Amino acid sequence: MTEINTIGVIGAGQMGNGIAHVMALAGYDVLLTDVSQDALDRARQLIGKNLDRQVAREMISETDRDAALSRISATLKLSDLGTSDLVIEAATERETVKQAIFDELLPHLKPETILTSNTSSISITRLASRTDRPEKFMGFHFMNPVPVMQLVELIRGIATDGDTYDACLGVVEKIGKTAASAEDFPAFIVNRILMPMINEAVYTLYEGVGNVKSIDESMKLGANHPMGPLELADFIGLDTCLAIMNVLHDGLADTKYRPCPLLTKYVEAGWLGRKTKRGFYDYRGDAPVPTR
Residue type, 192: R
pLDDT of residue 2: 82
Question: Average pLDDT, stretch 155-178?
Answer: 97
| Mean pLDDT score across all residues of the chain | 96
Give the CATH fold of the 6-182 domain: Rossmann fold (3.40.50)
16 pLDDT more than 90? yes
Taking Cα atoms as reference points, which of 250, 247, 256, 206 lies closest to residue 230?
Answer: 206
Taking Cα atoms as reference points, which of 141, 93, 122, 101 lies closest to residue 272?
Answer: 93
pLDDT of residue 85: 98
DSSP alpha helix (H) spans, 79-211: 95-105, 124-129, 162-174, 190-206
pLDDT of residue 27: 97
How far apart CA 284 and CA 114 sit, in angstroms, is: 42
Which helix (DSSP H) or strand (DSSP E) does residue 19 occupy? Answer: helix 14-25
256 contact partners, CB below 8 Å, separation of at least 6 = 196
| Domain residue ranges in the chain | 6-182, 191-290
Catalytic residues: 120, 141, 153, 191
37 contact partners, CB below 8 Å, separation of at least 6 = 76
54 pLDDT more than 80? yes
26, 50, 255 from 40: Cα distances, Å: 21, 15, 40
SS3 280: coil
93 pLDDT band (50/70/90 cuts)?
confident
281 contact partners, CB below 8 Å, separation of at least 6 = 212, 230, 231, 234, 288, 289, 290, 291
Question: Average pLDDT, stretch 181-205?
Answer: 96
Class of domain 191-290: mainly alpha
pLDDT of residue 22: 98
How far apart CA 84 and CA 102 sit, in angstroms, is: 14
